[in-house]
Chain A
């Protein structure tokens, strides 16, 4: 998630309360409008209750499943394709009470790289068609200042909408990748405009706050925006006319590192990251993982070993918790204390991605080991049957009534779990090949 699904970017407290009441009413009336939704709702509630009651976790064991990663990946992709709305955007979620939400610009943006990777791996042409439609829709949303709007699609139009730093960063990820894949100049132009706006909005200390930031305050999980700028610097900006590679690296790379430094200043010695700063919400694993993932990817692109070490330290704390307890709590109090009993599946999938990337850059097999087990744990929680919106969906929480996005299947959950499985496939293949080559008899 998403600055906006929680409170739609409202600035005043009154508006936030009104939005919460409206959201609760919409959810409550969802079943009245479509009573047939009660069947899958009860099915999932019962199945999660049974699973929670009977599952056993032991120090020497881990969850296993016969479901292959390829099969899970196909169903995750199918869910994403089903969630594409007629306008080309991807819905934020499928609610067991309310059905599909409207298109969600932020997720539509950063799901673009996932769709390209899925298309390449699975050979699914539908994914290519979907990602091209999604990109076209994104281009139509860009505001004249270069930013992208907050919240779900609908309501206000054009520049009357509130621009959002986080959403612009997340969409920038998608634009950069779409340009790399298609080489279309208008996509590069849009990406550069978004990057320029982000740089203009950045404070001298490297953070983003003010009206274009969620709840007006700076957040460490905006490291995802730094990652997007680093991507722009690395992959696309050097194709812009009239500018040298070095100049582009400075234009977007330095702001990315400025934010990275600001984020790193919030890492505590024990690994905890301050500055998640979400009033009215606990420190969900999803946001902790965002902060880690953004910092790690930015650090890799900018070759910052100090930042990789800091992320590795925090990730190791979470890895130990996962290995000992066999799940990661959905939310924590500072210093990773008092983990809540439910699991945030998106956060779990994100941590799998972080561990896999750490394995890639450090060669420490314990990260790969934890990620393999994490993916194994997540696979059976993806419905292998069910109607559109349910089949292949990653729920917000497990059990589904947990505090993070209850009773919903989330497009960003699908995105991160698909990313984790794609990374798993790539890294296990290359490890198996390199391990074979390293053996004395392999020649």
Chain B
């Protein structure tokens, strides 16, 4: 199966881990298309998502040389086993591409005609989306099977943003959904929907997100294997009429979601102590 990875930046750990995971079980990507790291749009997006302090911390971690066992070089520790490379870790998709021998292109817009033309040259069966632009129809039509997305919530219950946090607040199980992207927001046909079993072990919301991302990478690997064998097929979402879209969560509500996570953890600890 010919796979292409779309990524928000060559420094995206998720994209690196996804490419490594695909390569590990014999599906070395046919190519990867990344957005530039230091352009205005990406920088503003990251500032909006993470805030100034986290962006500076992230940039300095990526741009300065490291020593040690590599653990400190990975911001998501649950991806570390996949990113481990010799004595260090893969720090960018360029390193992954060089190691496994696949081409990587950087473009300013994944929907631009040049980007679409390059994707067509790679003639993918499947595109795996790990971040970037909102994808337009021309791009969605390029792969034979479709464009896969890992959504950090169970569909169709929780569409849109801040899905793990919303799941905690509205009492929907925490999980991930692997689905094809269509014109709507998280409305495409579902390939796999998995509840996340370790939510009660998470220490914080960022810990939960990190674990879900790593869990999602493994689920994609399963889905790709299933598609390859022909044992998995997509099912359209059942209740498109209902509006299950959620938006970025305000920090006050995030704090309430974090409280729920902490309580779950406490309950789990008490239960394990009581046997």
Contact = CB atoms under 8 A, between A and B. Distances in A.
Interface of A: 56, 58-62, 64, 316, 320, 323, 365-366, 368-370, 372-373, 376, 428, 431-432, 435-436, 439-442
Nearest to B250: A372
B249 interface: yes
B202 to A, nearest CB: 16
B48 A56 contact: yes
11 contacts: A58-B47, A59-B161, A60-B45, A61-B47, A61-B248, A316-B243, A365-B169, A370-B247, A372-B253, A435-B259, A439-B263
Contacts of A436: 259
A64 B251 contact: yes
B48 A58 contact: yes
A58 B42 CA distance: 11
B267 interface: yes
A116 B251 CA distance: 30
A441 B44 CA distance: 41
Contacts of A441: 263, 266-267, 270
Contact of B48 (A61, A316, A369): A61
A226 B166 CA distance: 36
Contacts of A428: 252
B258 to A, nearest CB: 12
Contacts of A369: 247, 249-250, 253
Counting contact residues on chain B (CB < 8 A from A), the size range is 20 to 34
Given A60-B48, A62-B250, A440-B263, 15 more contacts: A56-B47, A58-B47, A58-B49, A59-B48, A59-B161, A59-B248, A60-B161, A365-B253, A369-B247, A376-B250, A431-B256, A432-B256, A435-B256, A436-B259, A441-B263
Contacts of A435: 256, 259-260
Nearest to B160: A323
B269 to A, nearest CB: 10
Nearest to B161: A60
Contacts of A62: 248, 250
A366 B163 CA distance: 12
Interface in B150-188: 161, 166, 169-170
B246 interface: yes
A376 B251 CA distance: 11
B40 to A, nearest CB: 10
A203 B43 CA distance: 59
Contacts of B45: 58, 60
Given A435-B259, A440-B267, A56 B44 contact: yes
Nearest to B251: A64
A56 B51 CA distance: 13
A436 B169 CA distance: 12
Contacts of A442: 263
Nearest to B249: A369
A366 to B, nearest CB: 6
A60 B263 contact: no
Contacts of A370: 247
A313 to B, nearest CB: 10
Nearest to B252: A372
A436 B270 CA distance: 18
Contacts of B170: 365
A365 B171 CA distance: 12
A440 B125 CA distance: 48
B46 to A, nearest CB: 9
Nearest to B254: A369
A320 B245 CA distance: 9
A370 B270 CA distance: 36
Contacts of A440: 263, 267
Nearest to B256: A435
Interface in B221-275: 243, 245-253, 256, 259-260, 263, 266-267, 270
Contacts of B48: 56, 58-61
A441 B270 CA distance: 10
A432 B259 CA distance: 10
Top-5 shortest CB links A-B: A61-B48, A58-B48, A323-B247, A372-B250, A60-B49
Contacts of B251: 64
A190 B39 CA distance: 65
A359 to B, nearest CB: 11
Contacts of B245: 320
Max chain A C-beta neighbours (<10 A), residue from B49, B250, B252: B250
A435 B261 CA distance: 12
A105 B49 CA distance: 46
Contacts of B250: 62, 369, 372-373, 376
B166 to A, nearest CB: 8
B260 A439 contact: yes
Interface string B27-55: 00000000000000000110111000000
A431 B256 CA distance: 9
B256 A366 contact: no
Contacts of B47: 56, 58, 61
Given A368-B253, A435-B259, A60 B248 contact: yes
A284 B59 CA distance: 44
B87 to A, nearest CB: 36
A365 B166 CA distance: 9
A60 B248 CA distance: 6
B12 to A, nearest CB: 15
A431 B251 CA distance: 15
Nearest to A323: B247
A61 B162 CA distance: 11
Contacts of B243: 316
Nearest to A320: B245
Nearest to A64: B251
A369 B170 CA distance: 13
Contacts of A56: 44, 47-48
Contacts of A61: 47-49, 248
A115 B266 CA distance: 44
B44 A58 contact: yes
